[in-house]
Amino acid sequence: MSKNAKIDDAARLPDIIPPAVILCEPQLGENIGTAARAMANFGWVDLRIVNPRDGWPSEKARAAASRADHVIDKVQVFDSLEAAIADLTFVFATTARSREVPKPVRGPDEAAAKVVENGLLGHRTGYIFGRERWGLNNEEVALADEIVTLPVDPDFASLNIAQAVLVCAYEWRKTATGGALPFRLSEEVHPPASKEDVVRFFEHLEGALDTVTFFRPPERRPHMVRTLRNIFQKAELTDQEVRALRGVVAALERRQTRLRKDESDNGDEA
């Protein structure tokens, strides 16, 4: 982050309970770790695992989490999905396939709105994610309140677990914070240039160009001046930028047309 930027307080989460992420029988520690990293990116910390194939804890998961240790350290492991969601009040099942289970189907933005609403009320919610190879079965989907699916290409709908977590977490945080970005440039560091300073720069530039007979033929000068001024007006120049541009023009006005003494001396010696 630039030293001229600062955290925008609007990007801080409100007083809200983030949802839990429940991974059903994940096979690879790396997938658990990358899911944890995706959670940490958007402020989720409650990761629950149901019957991980390779057991827990997992050094591969920790390595793949890329410093999301606060998520990995709090992982809870369960023997059944029923136990993993027992304390939750509203749960989404994620799936990319049509199901025979009659439940409402939401997009990730709609699901986020519902989860944020519950979280602001202090209710605990969760997203259930299935296995790497074949997702959730119908019995597991039946335990959820609703289904969430992503607007993917129906001919290639399968997502990596971490990718699915990332999309859901992104939509949730965007909804919770109103889409506020984490930082912005500080306007106090380089304020906009005054119109007086901008006009003086224009006059300085145009005078320098007159000196080198840039405006040819002379009758085209008014049009060319307007074009140049419009180019620089679009830039919304700061006071620092105007000073820098005037320095450039001044340097060009004083450019050397003859060799420096040391250069000519070198030439004589040769």
Statement to judge: residues 31 and 163 lie in one domain: yes
Q: Is the pLDDT of residue 269 over 80?
A: no
Statement to judge: residues 172 and 74 lie in one domain: yes
Statement to judge: residues 168 and 237 lie in one domain: no
* Position 53 in a domain: yes
State both tokens at 68.
């999301």
Statement to judge: residues 80 and 161 lie in one domain: yes
What CATH code is carried by the domain that includes residue 153?
3.40.1280.10
pLDDT of the residue at 53:
94
* Position 27 in a domain: yes
What CATH code is carried by the domain that includes residue 223?
1.10.8
Q: Is the pLDDT of residue 242 over 50?
A: yes
Residues of the domain holding 65: 8-182
pLDDT of the residue at 257:
46
| Percentage of residues of the chain with pLDDT beyond 90 | 76
pLDDT: is 46 or 182 the higher one? Answer: 46
Phi, psi of 186 (to 5 degrees): -75, 120
CA 242 to each of CA 38, 164, 200, 222: distance values in angstroms, whole numbers, following the listed order: 42, 47, 9, 22
Query: Is-contact 231 201, C-beta < 8 A?
Result: no
Statement to judge: residues 89 and 151 lie in one domain: yes
In whole angstroms, give the CA distance from residue 30 to residue 41. Answer: 17
